[in-house]
Every structure is written in C-alpha cells, then in structure tokens.
Structure 1
Amino acid sequence: MLFKDQLYFVRENMKKNKMRIFMTVLATAMGTAFLIVLASVAFGLHDTLIKDVLEQETVNQVQIYGKDDPNSQGITDEDIDYFQSLEHVRAVRKQSYLRQSPRVSLNGYETSPHTVAVDMGALETGGTPLEDGRYATSSDEVVVGYHFYEQLLKEDTDPEDMYDENGERIDDTLYQGAVIGETIDLTVSRLINETDTEEKTYQVTIVGVTAEPANEWQQDQTLYTTFDFYQSVSEYTGTPGGELYFQEEPMDLTFYYDEVTIQSNNLENIQTLTKTINDEGYYGYSVASELKQINMLFTIAKAGLIFIGAIAVIIASIGIFNTMTMAVTERAPDIGIMKAIGASPKTIKQIFLLESSIIGIMGATIGTLVSYLISFLVNIGLPMILEAVFEEQLPDGFQFSSIPWTLVIIAYTICLLVTLISGSRPAKKATKIDVLSALRREL
C-alpha cells in the first residue's frame, strides 16, 4: 500500500470520529502549551539577565584588586607592564582613589564628590566614551561623570530642602548651567597636628563629561583627575592619596594603584585572560566569567521545567492510547479486508502509527500557536500588573517569557515520541487481528 493510500485511509477514518479526535487533539495541545509556556519563563528570564550582563560596560573587562602576596602593598608600574604584555589586551586602565572627599565649588554651588585619579589615555583607548568635551591632558583639567551636576547643591542650602513634598528636586537647588569649560575650586585638607587642619584650594577646569551609563539605575557622579594631580595632593598632605591622619615622620609616598582594569580586545578571550591573571597570583574578576555559572543554573532550570511540562504531555497520551485502542476495535473488519487482500502486518502497523502521529503533530502545532499568544500576553500584561501593584518601573526590555525555536523543537519531539509510544501498542494489536474473526465481526 502506497503512503498516499495509507494517508487517505487514516483521513477518512478520522472524519468518522471527529469529536473523539478533536478532544484527543485538544488534550495534546493543552499539554504541549503547558510545557512550552512553563519552560518559556526560564528562557525569558535567562535572556533578560544575559542581555543585562552583556550591556554592562564591564563585561569585556578584568578587574584587578591586588596580589596574593602578603608582602605586596599594591599594584605597581611593574605589574602594569606585565598586564600590557599579555595577549588579547587592548588597554590597561589604572586608577587610585583620593582618600578624602574634596569640597568642590562651582558658580555658587557646592558638592563633595567621589574623586578618582585615572589614566586618561587608557580611558580613551579602553572605549569609555564621553558625552561631551575631551579627556584631560594636564593636572589642572578634570573629567566629570554624567550625573555630576545632579549632586551640586546651592551654597547654604539644607540638603533636606532639596526636594518638595512629592519627592521632586526643587529647581532652585539644581545646577542649571553647562559644566564643560567651567573652572572649579577644589579644596583639600590636611592635618598639621593631632587636632588642627588646614586647607589648600586647586583651580581645575572641567574639559569632559562621561557618557550616560547603559542602565538607568547606574549613577556616575565621579570626579576624574590625572595622576599628577593625585600625586600633588599626596605630597601636600604627606599621606598616600591625601588620607587625613597625622604622621610626624615622613611617609613612603611610593605610588600604588588601588584598582586596575584590563580591557580585552574581544569577549571570546576574556575568560582565558582572567584565568591567566589569576594563575599568576593576582586577584582578577570579570563579569563575563559569571556567564558560565549563569548559563549552567538556567540550563538546570530549563531542564526541570521541561520535565514538569512533559508530564502534562504524558497525561494527554492516555487519551491518544484510548482513541487508538477504540479505533482498532471499530476498524477490525477493515483490517481483516486489508489482510485478506495481502496487506502485511508492517503496513497495518504503519497506518495506526501514522494516525497517532498526525494527532500528535496537530496537537503540538495548536499548542505552540497558543503558547506564543500566551507568551505575548504575559510579556505585556504581567509587567503592567507588577508596576501597578509595586509602583516600580521594570527595566526596559524585561521579559518574563521567551519561546526560542529550540524550545519548539523540543516540545514537538517530546509530543511526537509520546504519541508514537501511545499508539504503538494499539498498532501492534491491530497486526494480530485474525482475518476470519474480523470479517465475521467477532473481534
């Protein structure tokens, strides 16, 4: 019997039992939809988290915090030379924190920003963009963070008076002008004895503003200076980084870097680079190195949810088994006629397996379409509900459900395997029907 004849036989017999076939397909579709929608939550959250990680500026960087050496006081220029000699390194950015918060004055506004000395050349090479202006080239020039102006407070203003009753910043307290090209007074302090302090004011010019951070929740209010300025403050205070404590004996002002960031030339080499650095006794950390753990965790979650969803498909297979068993019983005379005219047991078995496969494919197709609809509605409706209940804005691009083509293939495969297994026993039973008994309708 040709395949098209088998298909015609199956189609005609399915038409005779439309309601029973419909209910069986419906059960299979519900099981498939449950499997896909359940697993899509893990896929959606995984995609959102990975996207968030990859959008971070630090994803292609290795941060060095020190050395695994009790005699080491910090990262030196010798270490920087070693980092620059490594393969796959695009730039090495070094920075040291000013160990006091200087007072900054700008056109009647004041703030005490977090101040960091950085290598401006490496900052540019490393791909840290500027929103406006340029990088500093001398000790009397600085670069400020994108949100620097937001912390400028009008002189003699109580911080508690910055916001109105609705929590909005009052315009009078907010700096309104541009900062590029403005000269600021930067005042640092030092202890001249155990109790008394004195101050020194530097005049520096703002020449650049960093670009807006990738994530809305990130705030960059930092003041970036050159290492020459950092060294001059250290020499003035007599302490490393301008730290405020009194020391009668002159201190060792050897320059050490508080933090070093190594920029890789591509994301593929970041884990190898991190391992090389850690093996050399440095404390290195990369956000990208966490991707392996994140992927492993979500792979386990996906497998678990797919397994739970597969149980629903297995339950639906009971309906397929009953449907095919009844089909064998009802079609006993037809089976007897096929055997009488020479149909082999293999052909008869193929016919019933083909019917169960069609039921499974129809159910999987309908379930997949319904799954996409549910996923679409969940991604639109659930964020609206959560934002209304918790009054918090979810990050842009956040999705609870995602259905990749791999999940659809997995669902189809599971559904097809289950339906074939469910239909195999009734199909085998059909091959054992006696011809004479079938023709006498005495099955």
Structure 2
Amino acid sequence: MKWKDRFRFVRQNMKKNRSRVFMTVLATAIGCSFLIVLASVGFGLQKSVVADITEGRLLTQIMVHGVKESEKSFRQIGDDEIGYMESQDHVKAVTRRYGVQQSAEFRIGELQGHGQAVVVDMPSEAKAGFELAEGRMPQQDFEIVIGFNFAESMLTPEERKQMEEQRQDNADAEEPAAVKGEKTVSDKAKSLIGKTMNVQVVQRFGEETKSFAVPVTIVGIGKAPSREWLQDRYVYIHERVMKQIESFTQTAYGAMTSKNPEDPAPESLGQPRIYNEVYVYADRVENVKSIVERLKTANYATYSIVDQLDQVNAVFLIMKIGLILVGTIAVLIASIGIYNTMTMAVTERTPDIGVMKAIGAHPRTIKSVFLIESAYIGIMGAAIGTAVAYAVSFAVNLALPQIVRGLLDSNPPEGLRFSDIPPALTLICVAISLLVAILSGVRPAVRATRVDVLKALRRDI
C-alpha cells in the first residue's frame, strides 16, 4: 500500500466517525491550548522582568566597587587599577568619576543654585557612549556638561522666594511639572548653552570663611535619565577645575574643614587619586563574562547586569519547566480520549484489517495506518489549540491592565506583559501534543496487527 493510499484510507475512516473524532480533536486542542497558555505566563513575566532590569542600562557595563585585600577589607580604585583594567582584552573604555566634597554654588547672572560637581574623564565617557540631549562634548579643560535636570535648579532670587513661600503655605505641595523628569530639553536649559557659569566653593581659614569661584563654559546637556523618577542635576567638570578648587581649599577633593576640632581632618593634597564610581565597558556583550572572570581572579569586586540576568533567567527557566510539566498533564488527559478513539477504530475496522492481511499487507503497513490516524488527531488538535492559545494570550494582555486598575485602583507596572508565546514555546508544545497523540495510538495499532484473519473475515448470518 502506497503512502497516499494510506492517507486516503485514514481520511475516509475519520469521516465515517466525524462526531467522535471531532470530540477527540477538541479535547486535544484544549489540552494543547492549556499547555501553551500556562507556559506563556513564565515567558511573559520573564520578558517583563528582564525589560525592567535592562531598561536604560548597558549590558556591556561592569561596575567595579574596589579591590579585595582581605575577607572584610576593600581598597578603592586608583589610577594603577584603572590602567590595569584598560589593558584587558575586549575592554572598550573605563570610566571613572569622583566629586567635589562639598555642595558647590553655581551662578549665571541672576540665576543661582546648589548641587554636586563631578569630575569625569570625557574621552573615556565618549568611548563608553555618554550621550547628549543638546550641545556638544567639551573640547577644552574649562568647558563642562550639565545634567538634564540641572537647569530647573537654577532660580532667580524672586523665584526662590516664591518657592519658599509656597512650601511654607503648603508643605505637601507638589513640585512644578518641569522638575518631574520631562524628556525634552526645556528652553531654559537650551538658553544656558554657551554661557559662562561660576562654580563657587568655600573654605574655613581659622575663624574666617572665604569663597572662591572657577568660571566655566556650558557646552552640552546630558541625555535624560532612562527612568522617570531619576534626576540628573550634576555638573560634569574637568580635572583642571578640581585642581583649582583644591589649590584654594588646600584639601583633597575640595573638602571643607570642620568647625569642631575633634572631627577628622580632611585628606591633605598630594595623595593618589581615588575614584567613587568606576565602570568597565566591554566591546561586546559576549565578552562581559570573560572580563568579569579576569577581574574577579585579580580580586576586583565587580557587578554586571549580565550576572543578574543569568540568575533571573535561571529562576524563570525552572519556573517555565514546571509550568510545561503541569500543562503536559492536560495533554496526557486528552491522550485517554485518543486511546479510546483508536481502540474503537480498531474494533470497528476489524473486517478491513482482515482484508488487508488476506491480500498480503505487512503488519508494519497496518500499524502505520493507525499511527497516521492518531497523528492526524494530534496535529489538528495542536493547530486549533495553538490558534486558541494566541487568542487567549492577546486577550489576557489586553484585559489584565484594565482588571488591575479596576480591582486595585492603581496602574500596573509599565510594560507588564503577563503572557508571551515565542515560536520556540509553540514548537515545544506542538511537539509534546503530537508525541503524546502518537504514543496513545501505539497500543491500538499493535493490537490491529494481531487481529486473526479468519475471525476478521467471518460474517454472522
């Protein structure tokens, strides 16, 4: 018997028992759909968590906290360590930052404000991908970049007075909307580009307090933070600006001496420079792990988002395997229906089996006919179940935010995806459904090959 004849024979017999076959296919479809939808929860939540973790963060970024000297002791990063990290293979850039150890005052005409001045190495920042929302990168030592939200902290005396009065009238009053992480550069911020700003610090000399100002030129505005609640009010300055501040304060990092003689004295000048924030950037994501391993071998304390993602993915992998195993139970329940349908098919077609045996059909041929039929049922059930699963997944993702808002009276996390069906999941679930369907038909198919020819051809008169 040719294969096309086998398929034709199977279709003809399935048409004779449409109702029974339909119910069996329906049970298989429900089992497959349940399996896909249940497993899709794990994929959807993983996608949401990973997106939340990686939002606005570079996968090639490695944070270096310090160098481990003992079990409980760490040494901060200095220039020697920076040179070592820059010499490593596949390292694109090493950024380092440290700040002025007092709140500086910034003045542009009548505008004034207070904030943190941070020393950065602009060439390494540019290599690492430091982006601007407006303007250009500094090209001279006394050119600076301001943070995205810095301009909103620069107020005239009248504006500051009005703000103080408003705070006194209503302690719970919200800040102006402009301060809340807007994503477009304000006209006020744009107007600061090209202007000269005085970075002013103070120091105590005995009983006298003196101030000192370093004029700098604003040439760029940093890109907005990736998160709405983050505020970038820093002023990014060059090492030369810090040295002028230190020459005035006579302390390292421009630290201010305390009025209380019992307080620890600020660090004196001439000490090796240490950095508060150090980041290593790999040239490719694939090289992050190898760089981290080399740094850890050299006793560097590191953190990489890739490490966190590995842990998250491991947890969700276990979760997805568990969900697939639970969903497979539904498919196994549907296999009982397939087994019952195939057993009845063998019983009803005993005369046909006898005829095939009488004309010399090989047992493998008879067995394949019933396996093809069970596979047909599995394929049709898997196809219908997959279509239903995609529809259910779409409906759940569409309706879930509305349900959360209605029941909890709050908005769900932005970008939450409760269900996600990647192609790999569909293939796995369809393969499971098809395999279970074929296995359900194995025993009835074997039984068909053992039918006695004489009994099969006997007719009751």
Shared fold by TM > 0.5? yes
Equivalent residue number for residue 345 of structure 2: 327
Q: What per-residue deviation string (whole Å, max 9, x for no partner) do you get for residues 292-315 of structure 1?
A: 222222221211111111111111
TM-score by length of 1: 0.89
Match of 1:227 in 2: 239
Please give the alpha-carbon distance, in whole angstroms, between the structure 1 residues aligned to 2:307 and 2:447: 56
State the alpha-carbon separation in 2 of the partners of residues 36 and 377 from structure 1: 14
In the alignment, the residues of structure 2 paired with residue 103 and residue 124 of structure 1 have an alpha-carbon distance, to the nearest angstrom, of 27
Shift of the alpha carbon at 1:90? Answer: 1.6
CA contact (8 A) 2:45 2:418 kept: yes
2:196 aligned residue: 183
- Following superposition, the deviation at residue 284 of structure 1 comes to 2.1
- Find the partner of 2:324 among 293, 296, 306: 306
Question: What amino acid is aligned across from residue 9 of structure 1 in structure 2?
Answer: F
SS of the residue corresponding to residue 202 of structure 2 reads strand
> Which residue of the partner structure matches residue 380 of structure 1?
398
Between the aligned partners of 1:249 and 1:10, the Cα distance in structure 2 is: 90
- Are 1:102 and 2:115 counterparts? no
- The offset of 1:23, in angstroms, is 0.9
What is the DSSP-based 3-state SS (H/G/I as helix, E as strand, rest coil) of the residue aligned with 2:212?
strand
1:169 paired with 2:171, answer: no
The secondary structure found in structure 2 opposite 1:155 is helix
Letter paired with 2:299: G
In the TM superposition, 1:163-312 aligns within 5 A as 167=174, 169=176, 177=188, 178-193=191-206, 197-246=209-258, 251-254=268-271, 255-312=273-330
Q: TM-score scaled to structure 2, two decimals?
A: 0.86
Contact 2:67–2:301 (Cα < 8 Å) also in 1: yes
Tell me the residue number matched to 1:147. Answer: 149
Q: Please state whether the residue corresponding to 2:145 is helix, strand or coil.
A: strand
Distance 2:434 2:334 in 1: 12
For 1:3, the equivalent position in structure 2 comes to 3
8 A contact 1:67–1:283 mirrored in 2: yes
Native 8 Å contact 1:333 1:441 kept in 2: no
Partner of 1:30: 30
What SS class does the counterpart of residue 193 from structure 2 fall into?
coil
In structure 1, give the amino acid aligned to 2:193.
Answer: I
TM-fit CA distance, 1:415: 0.7
Correspondence 1:433 to 2:451 = yes
Determine the C-alpha separation between the residues in 2 that align with 1:257 and 1:199: 26
In structure 2, give the amino acid aligned to 1:81: G
Q: Which moved more, 1:26-35 or 1:132-141?
A: 132-141
Residue deviations 1:185-224 (CA, integer Å, cap 9, x gap) = 333233445x875433333322111123344454322221
Farther-moved stretch of structure 1 (156-165 vs 23-32):
156-165
Displacement of 1:122 in angstroms is 1.3
Query: Letter of the aligned partner of 1:61 in structure 2?
Result: Q
The residue matched to 1:221 in structure 2 has which SS? coil
- C-alpha offsets along residues 75-103 of structure 1, whole Å, 9 cap, x if unaligned? 22222222222111222211112222223
Residues in 2 aligned to 1:36 and 1:72: alpha-carbon distance in whole angstroms: 49
Distance apart, 1:134 and its partner CA: 2.1
State the superposition RMSD in angstroms: 3.0
Q: Measure the CA separation in 2 of the matches of 1:159 and 1:331.
A: 92
Matched residues in 2 for 1:243 and 1:441: separation? Answer: 108
Residues 302/189 of structure 1: CA separation in 2 closer, same or farther (3 Å cut): same
Letter of the 2:41 partner, please give it: V
Aligned length: 440
Partner Cα separation in structure 2 for residue 378 and residue 171 of structure 1? 36
Identify which range, 26-35 or 122-131, moves more after superposition: 122-131
Amino acid at match of 1:7: F
CA displacement, residues 131-188 of structure 1 (integer Å, 9 cap, x when unaligned): 2222234453321112222344532243683799994726799985222123333332
Q: Distance in 1 between matches of 2:50 and 2:341?
A: 45
CA distance in 1, matches of 2:119, 2:284: 26
Counterpart of 2:441 in structure 1 is: 423
Percent of matched pairs sharing the same residue: 41
Secondary structure of the residue that 2:58 maps to in structure 1? helix
101-110 or 349-358: bigger deviation: 101-110
Taking a change above 3 Å as real, the CA distance of residues 151 and 320 of structure 1, as seen in their structure-2 partners, is: farther
